[in-house]
Amino acid sequence: MRRKVKNRNIAQADIVYNSDSLGKFINYVMWSGKKETARNVVYGALDLIKEKSKVENPLEIFDAAIRNAGPSTEVRSRRIGGANYQVPREVRPERRQLLAMTWIIGAARAGKGRPMHIKLADELILASKNEGAAIKKKDDTHKMAESNKAFAHFAW
């Protein structure tokens, strides 16, 4: 069994909403160390969410999107006796949050032709309603885990 990581770097809470998960999300959006650009994209998306959905606090939609897009099970490859098996495993909460954030950002980046903050706002709204590309990816992961349930006894 792996040893517990002792000094894990914890992302600072964001400036405007004072949310730890939003600070982590900004770090995932960031490319090449351009944090101010990432902040502008994320805060622009949250402002758009506020306008579109008529919600007072857009952080509620953000939290719902992260909750909905996070998978509960995934498959991990395991080599046993010369064969590779896709073994279904439960996902730890930190990894669930990481996968949800990366899938939402990836889905937003995949859309072409519009500014990033608009694509990100649309993807967050869709994920909060259990729709969109990030939710489809979660459903595909769950289907894969369900179809390989026969190999669950190989879990380590």
Whole-angstrom Cα distance, residue 156 to residue 62? 34
Residue 3 is classified by DSSP as P
3-state secondary structure of 89: strand
**Could you report the per-residue pLDDT of 35-87, keeping only the tens digit for each?**
999 999 999 999 999 999 888 899 999 999 999 999 999 999 889 889 988 88
Q: Please state the domain extents for the chain.
A: 20-154
pLDDT digits (tens, 9 = 90+) for 101-133: 999 999 999 989 999 999 999 999 999 999 999
Q: List the CATH code of the domain at 20-154.
A: 1.10.455.10
